[in-house]
Structure 1
Amino acid sequence: MNQTGQDRSGLKVYRLNQPDRSDSFAEIPIVEDGEFGVGMEFSSREAVIKAVKDYSIRRSVDYRVFESEPLTFYAKCTQYGLGCDWLIRVSLISRRYCWVIRRYNGSHTCTRATISQDHSKLDSITIAEAIKPLVEADPALKVKSVIAEVQSKFNYTVSYRKAWLAKQKAVEKIFGGWEASYEALPIWFEAMCHKEPSAVVHFETMPAYQGDELVGDIRVDGTHLYGKYKGCLLVAVSQDGNNNIVPIAFAIVEGETSDAWHFFLSNLRQHVVTRDGVGLISDRHESINAAVERSNGAWSPPRAFHMFCIRHIESNFLRKFKAPYLQKLVVNIGYSRTVREYEVRYERLRERGEAYTNWLNRIPREQYALAFDGGYRWGHMTTNLVECINSVLKGARNLPITALVKATFYRLNELFTRKRAEAEARINAGHVFSEIVTSKLHANQLASGNIQVSCFDHQNEVFEVREMPSGMEFAVDLCGLRCDCGEFQMDQVRRVYRARFRPLGNPATWPAYNGPRFIPNPYLRQVTKGRPRMTHFLNEMDTQMLRRPRRCTLCGAEGHSRSRCRQTGATNTNRGTP
């Protein structure tokens, strides 16, 4: 409970109880008229500094620190001696365990209404404290949203750099330090494996050197993309029996290198995708191709079939030829389901220029065209499924490495729990539907209520169901428990989500960790000078597909602009002729 009192001048002040000294954002006294007063007490030096900062920002004034010692804080207005006599001196009273204002000259007499668009005392630490609730709710909070929040709360427009730094500090304060997060990662993983013995965790590390001497610790070769250290989050996804996206593997690596992809694909093959005859769809990144070649046949026919995303082929084509009006044709060639359809579209591209088809011929047809893929693509032509998971985890990729792993763990737990419950509910509904249809068949009721039943094989109970009044038709196999609507396949879906995540509980109950200490790779640290660079670079895949070729406004021909027209030189020459 706060205690109140009055100083000799009659100013009412508020005294705070002693807070936790570790909190750098300690509470500050609140005064009725918004001004300081001699005798006002603070719980800590940090509370003094925060109070003076908040006061200066709120009043659109500024101050200069003349003395900042363990026992004293002394500041004056930047206009002191030039028309403003504002000053404040606060000292530590050891016997009372508090800081007390010993001298104060009253409010500012500065005439300037505002300092500038920004405020020197509105630093990233102050902003970080203000935006903590927003960052905690959404770690993917955009920097422009931080700037807008500062504008709303403080009536100042801060720089992009300051807002970005504030967000990073807020993330660190909420989710822990970046370096400490590396040390916590193996401890958390060991606890997870202790709770779930079937879990598999695999690290590949590099030794750390100090000068020429080998350090006894090891470091992780990378982390997420958006934080203090560079890195990549690799993801593999598949689909369940109801065509829902299922993330099946994750890896945090130093970047999209051949070694990183080999590490990921090797573990994916060993621990997750153990069956043969699977299709692997990816972009045409050289490191992925190199990793597939290094897999000793694990990701090559007949065990697996590596195919390419048609959108990335489209992007590569556009980067090579700068011909956006041919993008759609290239995509349609990939989507061709018959050889005849493929040949017609291929010939149409060749007629526009043999260079286009010569480039396409360098890619094996079975790696990009449906007509030649052997059915291993299951109709999927892009890596959009992975992009969906990437968007879901975008916020998590702003976090320190252990917080990132935890966020992925809990989101997977939520997904598996929800999908398992949905599958069980639909299985129960499917059994009821089966009993209704079977009874109608045995009673020779070919039409009743909102369904019409046509029997094709009474002995094996294979028939067709038409829903009324929509007219939707489904083939139903009661013996095989299969239906075009997908209801009977729910048992297979339930098997996909049969894994159950176990809570890790109180860290005090975890087994003692005796393994090596992890530290981040200093060479992967993000550049701290200047404005932070964007993490997503636009390429040809981000451009709008043009349906018509570019037309020159000078000569009227297609395929180039006015600036690249050959007639430009002739026109300039004619202009110079007398």
Structure 2
Amino acid sequence: MVDRLTEIHNMSQDQQMLDNECGWMDMDVPDKETASQQVSSIEVDSTIQLTHSSHARDDGTGFYKEHLTSNNPHAIAKVLGAYFHDRYSESKGPSTKDLRNSIRIELGYKVSYWKVWMDSEIEKSLVRGTHEHGYGVIDAYSHILRTSNSVSKTAVVVDENGRFKCFLVAYGAWILGFAQMRKVIAVDGTFLKSRYCGVLLSAFAQDIENHIFSVAFCVVDSKCDASYKYFFEQMSSFVLDTPKLCIISDRHPSIGKIVSVVFPSAHYGCCMRHLGENIRKDFHNGSVVHHFLRQQKHTMYNIMTINITESINVVLLGEREFPITALFDAINKRFTEIFHERRMIFLDIGTKFVPSMETIIAENTELGNKLLVHQIANYRYIVTGHEVVATADLQSKSCSYRVFVIDKIPCPYAMAALRCQYGEDYGRRIYEYSSLYYTVDAYIMAYVEEIKPISSEDSWQVSIEILERKISPLFIEPGKVGRRSYKRRK
């Protein structure tokens, strides 16, 4: 009996030494039926293997391997993250609820909501980097952006404690292209959904095909006078303060106040859609809004709303929870594609104006041919038709119908006056009385500059001073870090 105990004891020591050398964890040995299961596996970075078995061990190379199945209720979040690695590479990725459903359907594995949420946070940080790292390298990121894209403007502001305050980006392609745009800028701000919050301020123009054209983006700590002042002061270096400039917003009190200081010669207006909604809400009468909008005497190319900025906020809805560098990488990628598409679309077109304007000219010409014209002075005409009597002054390029003034292109009444003034040659004269912003050449010139992508961080070449400058994230109250808490009702 003693010999038998000694033999068992020696076998236990040998087994323990073997386990220490191989890194095996002390666990139940699977039975033959389980061990004989042959299933496919997924290798992720040669470190994590997901299969239909129930082991977890170190294979002696220092790499931890864990197998994910319904038989293993203790799979760590790292393993779950590896399983969904590719789902976070291009976009926001699936929600926690969708992840749970995918695991349950594809693997038959029930996992808690908390573990799946932790999994998604771990994998997002591996794919996009952490929020803290994004703020820490923002100065180096700014340098690489300017190096890759000439004429671009970036600016980073920190407080006295080295904490992040503002980061502005205006690509050189945006700055040069804005010279070909109508000088109407819509400004808006949207709250970021990252753990450190913040606000993404955006300024957009509208090209001649009514597409959004970015002017600048800026991440700030909050919507306040100081943030908007910094934003507009930075834009003033490439947006000229002239009477032709018009800035519209959603009536945020800080915007109107700061515009009058930074751009005193510019016009400032509020978004007609927001104003119309306020009228509908205050007077409880939607029919009033239609009459109100018809009476507006806006003279800036009929751009009266900030829908162009709100539409890009919807496009970047998922990206608003990204780390700051990943957010601007997403902006870079999106506008790189947009610029390439719009630069190529009209290269071989044979018209002088863009297609949308040529269509409007054809429609106005057809309507103008049906109107009665009476000349009252040189270049001045009374035009009658469609229950309207309008006065067209070709010398000042104006018409009492006001569409000519607003759209900067002859309306039907102006078309009738041009036909009477120039006869058969009036078709060529139409382009002389229209804005140059509508030409195909102006459109192509607006998108001729390329937006170059930002290289990966491991290939950055920056000075030691920039690398050593670490910027801390925005300050937030300790209780606000993490997921929002809700008070449950009984």
TM band (smaller chain): 0.5 to 0.7
Q: 2:328 aligns to what?
A: 405
Counterparts in 2 of 1:313-462, with a 5 A limit? 313-317=275-279, 321=282, 325-326=284-285, 328-337=286-295, 370-371=296-297, 373=298, 375-376=299-300, 378-426=301-349, 428=350, 430=352, 456=419, 462=425
Q: 2:445 aligns to what?
A: 495
Task: Say if 1:499 and 1:285 are closer, same or farther in 2 by CA, change over 3 A.
Answer: same
Counterparts in 2 of 1:532-543, with a 5 A limit? none
C-alpha distance in 1, partners of 2:291/2:431? 40
Q: Is 1:304 aligned to residue 266 of structure 2?
A: yes
* C-alpha contact 1:231 1:524 (8 A) present in aligned 2: no
Q: Is 1:241 aligned to residue 186 of structure 2?
A: no
Give the drift of 1:386.
0.7
C-alpha distance in 1, partners of 2:450/2:218? 21
Q: 1:42 aligns to what?
A: 59
Describe the SS at the equivalent of 2:289.
helix
C-alpha distance in 1, partners of 2:79/2:452? 39
Instruction: Please say which structure displays the higher CA radius of gyration.
Output: 1
Give the counterpart letter for 1:497 in structure 2.
Y
Listed as ranges, the gaps of 5+ residues in structure 2 are 1-28, 169-190, 356-415
* C-alpha contact 1:160 1:531 (8 A) present in aligned 2: no
Describe the SS at the equivalent of 2:160.
strand
Describe the SS at the equivalent of 1:237.
strand
Describe the SS at the equivalent of 1:194.
helix
* C-alpha contact 1:222 1:232 (8 A) present in aligned 2: no
* Greater relative CO (CA pairs within 8 A, separation 6+): 2
Counterparts in 2 of 1:457-496, with a 5 A limit? 462-464=425-427, 477=429, 480=432, 489-496=439-446
C-alpha distance in 2, partners of 1:163/1:35? 19
C-alpha distance in 2, partners of 1:172/1:261? 31
Q: 2:360 aligns to what?
A: none
Give the drift of 1:238.
1.0
Match of 2:132 among 179, 197, 215: 179
Residue deviations 1:189-222, cap 9 Å, x none? Answer: 21222233411112222121xxxxxxxx453458
Describe the SS at the equivalent of 1:424.
coil
Q: Is 1:279 aligned to residue 241 of structure 2?
A: no
Give the drift of 1:274.
4.8
TM-score by length of 1: 0.54
Q: Is 1:512 aligned to residue 447 of structure 2?
A: no
C-alpha distance in 2, partners of 1:218/1:521? 6
Task: Say if 1:166 and 1:41 are closer, same or farther in 2 by CA, change over 3 A.
Answer: closer
Give the drift of 1:163.
4.6
4+ runs of 1 displaced by more than 6 Å? 9-14, 457-461, 481-484
Task: Say if 1:461 and 1:46 are closer, same or farther in 2 by CA, change over 3 A.
Answer: farther
Give the drift of 1:235.
0.9
Match of 2:164 among 213, 219, 223: 219
C-alpha distance in 1, partners of 2:88/2:241? 40
Residue deviations 1:462-519, cap 9 Å, x none? Answer: 455xxxxxxxxxxx548749699x9x71111112113222455575463425233222
C-alpha distance in 2, partners of 1:140/1:394? 12
TM-score by length of 2: 0.62
C-alpha distance in 2, partners of 1:12/1:161? 33
Give the drift of 1:237.
1.0
Counterparts in 2 of 1:103-114, with a 5 A limit? none
Listed as ranges, the gaps of 5+ residues in structure 1 are 1-6, 63-120, 209-216, 338-369, 434-453, 465-475, 534-578
C-alpha distance in 1, partners of 2:269/2:306? 11
Q: 1:78 aligns to what?
A: none
- Identity of paired residues, percent? 18
Give the counterpart letter for 1:420 in structure 2.
R
Match of 1:290 among 257, 279, 301: 257
Match of 2:195 among 215, 228, 234: 228
Describe the SS at the equivalent of 2:310.
helix
Task: Say if 1:458 and 1:226 are closer, same or farther in 2 by CA, change over 3 A.
Answer: same
Give the drift of 1:392.
1.6
Give the counterpart letter for 1:203 in structure 2.
V
C-alpha distance in 1, partners of 2:212/2:166? 28
Task: Say if 1:411 and 1:150 are closer, same or farther in 2 by CA, change over 3 A.
Answer: same
Q: 2:145 aligns to what?
A: 192
Residue deviations 1:139-188, cap 9 Å, x none? Answer: 16444433433443344676666554443332211011211111222112
Give the drift of 1:398.
2.2
Q: Is 1:26 aligned to residue 47 of structure 2?
A: yes
C-alpha distance in 2, partners of 1:142/1:243? 34
Give the drift of 1:47.
2.5
Equivalent residue pairs, number? 364
C-alpha distance in 2, partners of 1:290/1:159? 50
* C-alpha contact 1:241 1:490 (8 A) present in aligned 2: no
C-alpha distance in 2, partners of 1:155/1:133? 20
C-alpha distance in 2, partners of 1:532/1:489? 54
C-alpha distance in 2, partners of 1:233/1:307? 21
Give the drift of 1:390.
1.0
Give the drift of 1:133.
1.9
Q: 1:467 aligns to what?
A: none
Give the drift of 1:135.
2.1
* C-alpha contact 1:13 1:29 (8 A) present in aligned 2: no
Q: Is 1:254 aligned to residue 221 of structure 2?
A: yes
Give the drift of 1:391.
1.4
* C-alpha contact 1:310 1:334 (8 A) present in aligned 2: no
* C-alpha contact 2:77 2:116 (8 A) present in aligned 1: yes
Give the drift of 1:385.
0.9
Q: Is 1:207 aligned to residue 160 of structure 2?
A: yes
Task: Say if 1:479 and 1:251 are closer, same or farther in 2 by CA, change over 3 A.
Answer: closer
Task: Say if 1:285 and 1:157 are closer, same or farther in 2 by CA, change over 3 A.
Answer: farther
Describe the SS at the equivalent of 2:47.
coil
C-alpha distance in 1, partners of 2:479/2:342? 38
* C-alpha contact 2:154 2:167 (8 A) present in aligned 1: no
Give the counterpart letter for 2:292 in structure 1.
G
C-alpha distance in 2, partners of 1:526/1:402? 25
Describe the SS at the equivalent of 1:248.
strand
Describe the SS at the equivalent of 1:202.
strand
C-alpha distance in 2, partners of 1:149/1:384? 36
Give the drift of 1:520.
0.7
Residue deviations 1:280-319, cap 9 Å, x none? Answer: 11112223233234x25x1x4xx21111123323444566
Task: Say if 1:35 and 1:336 are closer, same or farther in 2 by CA, change over 3 A.
Answer: closer
Give the counterpart letter for 1:262 in structure 2.
K
